């Protein structure tokens, strides 16, 4: 049977921690380091794979079986479905290291007793190598000594099996590795705790399932990271300097930019009132110290799925289906935000209203499929020829809008003329027939005399209509000037 549930105890930063054999111990510097404050330790009740592959899963996963006995290697081979796994064998520790570096296997089994180099030394070398950083190592031995098991986990092994393990147990574990590594694969998780030991331990647990983890030692640092990067889940402790976990939750909740990001709040074992305060402040759930690593992973997996689903719904709600651009709803939201920023900080911003010239003709003469082609290609050209800082929207049938943050009227007019020229120069074609597509544009800039966002949009629309009145395929500014006149 597996021996990964044997418990040992450690004192870290003055707190008694439940540490199951089956969970790799952090290095001594981490045990000595870290800030104060209560920490709960991760006890594990189910194996956690050490795999963070980013590439798509191949048809077969590579497994290396290392044991001095050909007979026992043959028995281990029977644990793996040949349709799903490509099996390689090694008869000693040195050969196991060579295969691990050459193949970067998903899983490698190492017997402790092997010639040339024993399994523990081979395990340490394999887990330290960059080529096998995504490899899960399972140690197999007939020893029941807790000291041997501890040495195996310190060397980097993720599972410790007795040679008398039940038939199918190793194969089931391998299957779990493949299944579990997809759950948190690529998920962005922020871990916030003033204890370096806890941050590192939780991070390692998540990284072993493929999550991308960032760490912060207090709430203020967490908010700085969140301002620079999008996260799927936040895990935060309560007791921290600078800004505690409760204040962090409140700051996350009140910011619309972080809407939909689940927050898992970590509390002391018997502090029910604090847990309720955290939930009232906006935390998605809480977990009590000391907690089990399996429970932590289960909650974060659930939150990651929820976060991805929420983001997908937000994307559907703000994206135009035909063109892939932001839709009208998102345009007015961002226009209002740009206006508020410009009004508060006295910074410029401009908007460009765009209309496809004579669009109805494409539908009438060639059918709606041609019209859809014109719209989708126009959207692509507008996006490709706008600046990275510009936002492009489809706000109506053949109507588009471009928001130019921190850009005055001259700068936005230059951008609009670039877009007009790109459309005029592009060769549109539908079912082998050329289509002549041009756009008209109107440009307006925010000013202190403009009372609200609707007014600047009305000015841009008025300039657009002037472009049409003057013959189309041109850009007109809200001050009445034409940027380009094309006959």
Catalytic residue numbers read 398
Phi, psi of 403, deg, nearest 5: -100, 125
DSSP string of 73-140? HHHHHTTS-TTTEEEEEESSHHHHHHHHHHH--SEEEEESS-SSS-HHHHHHHHHHSGGGTT-EEEEE
Instruction: Tabulate helix, strand, coil % of the chain (nearest 5).
Output: 45, 20, 35
Burial class (CB in 10 A: 0-12, 13-18, 19+), 392: buried
Cα of 352 vs its chain's centroid, Å: 33
What are the structure tokens assigned to 159, written together? 């599972």
Q: Is the peptide bond before 240 cis (omega within 30 degrees of 0)?
A: no
Other C-beta atoms closer than 10 Å to the C-beta of 412 total 28
Backbone CA torsion sign across 253, 255, 261, 264: negative
Tokens of 398: 């053949």
* Residue closest to 418 by CA, chosen among 386, 393, 444, 463: 386
* Separation in Å, CA 324 to CA 317, 394, 466: 12, 9, 29
Phi and psi at residue 135, to the nearest 5°: -90, 135
Reference 275, options 262, 286, 264; nearest CA is: 286
């Amino acid at each position: 049977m597996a021996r990964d549930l044997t418990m040992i105890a450690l004192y870290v930063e003055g707190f008694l921690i439940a540490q199951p054999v089956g969970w790799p111990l952090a290095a001594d510097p981490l045990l000595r380091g870290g800030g104060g404050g209560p920490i709960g330790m991760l006890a594990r009740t189910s194996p956690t794979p050490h795999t963070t592959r980013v590439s798509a899963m191949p048809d077969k996963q590579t497994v290396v079986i290392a044991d001095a006995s050909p007979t026992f290697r043959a028995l281990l081979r029977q644990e793996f479905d040949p349709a799903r796994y490509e099996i390689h064998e090694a008869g000693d520790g040195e050969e196991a290291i060579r295969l691990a570096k050459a193949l970067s296997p998903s899983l490698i089994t190492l017997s402790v007793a092997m010639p040339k180099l024993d399994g523990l030394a081979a395990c340490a070398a394999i887990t330290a190598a960059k080529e096998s950083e995504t490899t899960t190592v399972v140690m197999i031995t007939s020893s029941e000594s807790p000291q041997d098991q501890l040495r195996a986990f310190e060397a980097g092994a993720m599972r410790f099996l007795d040679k008398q393990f039940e038939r199918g147990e190793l194969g089931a574990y391998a299957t779990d590795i493949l299944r579990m590594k997809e759950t948190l694969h690529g998920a962005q998780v922020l871990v916030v705790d003033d204890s370096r030991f806890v941050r590192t331990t939780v991070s390692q647990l998540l990284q072993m399932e493929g999550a991308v983890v960032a760490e912060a030692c207090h709430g203020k640092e967490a908010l700085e990271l969140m301002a620079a990067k999008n996260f799927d889940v936040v895990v935060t402790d309560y007791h921290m300097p600078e800004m505690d976990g409760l204040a962090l939750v409140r700051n996350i909740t009140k910011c619309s930019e972080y809407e939909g990001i689940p927050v898992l709040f970590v509390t002391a074992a018997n502090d029910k009132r604090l847990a309720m305060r955290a939930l009232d402040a906006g935390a998605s759930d809480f977990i009590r110290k000391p907690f089990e690593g399996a429970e932590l992973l289960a909650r974060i997996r659930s939150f990651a799925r929820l976060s991805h689903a929420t983001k997908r719904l937000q994307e559907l709600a703000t994206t135009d289906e035909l063109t892939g651009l932001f839709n009208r709803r998102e345009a007015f939201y961002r226009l209002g935000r740009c206006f508020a920023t410009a009004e508060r900080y006295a910074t410029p911003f401009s908007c460009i209203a765009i209309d496809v010239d004579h669009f109805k003709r494409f539908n009438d003469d060639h059918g709606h499929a041609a019209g859809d082609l014109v719209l989708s290609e126009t959207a692509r050209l507008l996006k490709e020829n706008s600046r990275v800082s510009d936002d492009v929207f489809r706000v109506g049938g053949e109507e588009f809008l471009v928001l130019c943050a921190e850009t005055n009227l001259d700068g936005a007019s230059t951008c609009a003329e670039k877009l007009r020229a790109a459309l005029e120069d592009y060769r549109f074609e539908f079912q082998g027939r050329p289509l002549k597509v041009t756009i008209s544009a109107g440009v307006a800039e925010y000013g202190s005399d403009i009372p609200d966002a609707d007014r600047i949009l009305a000015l841009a629309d008025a300039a657009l209509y002037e472009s049409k009145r003057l013959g189309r395929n041109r850009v007109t500014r809200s001050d009445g000037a034409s940027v380009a006149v094309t006959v």
